[in-house]
Amino acid sequence: MPADAPTFVLFDRAHLASLAIIAVVAFAFPWLMRRLAPLRWQVRIGVLLGLLLLLLEPLSMWLRVQVYGDALALILPLHLCGLAMLLTAATLVLRSHRAYEVVYFWAWGGTLQALLTPDLRLGFPDLRYISFFIGHGLILVGVLYATLVYGFRPYAVSILRSMAALALTALLIAPINYWLGANYLYLSRKPEQASLMDLLGPWPWYILSLSLLAVLSSGLFYLPFWIRDQLGRGSLARAGSA
């Protein structure tokens, strides 16, 4: 790391500004597209957003290999957010609800946490910092676009499908970590930077704690839809009895 490189500081001005920009774009862009764009353009813009996500990952990998000298085997898109990026692209390009109901929970439970406590050593305006926040931010933009513009929503069974997909992914990634000496999904060790995992015990117990938190957070992020369903059923019941 260069001697004058900006060190990442958790929740400094640059970090908070990055989070604020992502929050505004993630909600405002889909809302504006839903209100202002005709249906055909809503779909086209969704596809373009998905293709942008597909383009960003190889660009980020090229940057890290060619500019920073990272080993390719250690930066494959096998972390949760890299996989979420691919699933978000599939959701938007293919309008796949099956991909959506998995990535909805991965994005809010995983990508959001990654944005709050990034595994970064260098801060703004380092290119890895910029690449990290653009890529992770666009995952949230894409998930909200599918929710607000495509009209997708998760169901209770979506939690089970998302958790099953996560468990299967972890089983497939674990031997890859062993083979490459990697740490995808942070199955081998905790991230170097401070994160929620620091509060969840040593390896391998923090993995079990994370699994329990994933279930709890999925229930939390499903709650708005559950409340809306209950209110809708109440309205139908009152209408039927009138």
Q: pTM for this one? A: 0.94
Domain ranges of the chain: 13-241
Residue 81, both tokens:
């957010």
Cβ(8)–Cβ(120) under 8 Å? yes
Q: Give residue-wise pLDDT tens across range 146-198.
A: 999 999 999 999 999 999 999 999 999 999 999 999 999 999 999 888 888 88
Q: Give residue-wise pLDDT tens across range 48-100.
A: 999 999 999 999 999 999 999 999 999 999 999 999 999 999 999 999 999 99
Cβ(111)–Cβ(140) under 8 Å? yes
Residue 156, both tokens:
């209770």
Cβ(99)–Cβ(107) under 8 Å? no
Cβ(85)–Cβ(97) under 8 Å? no
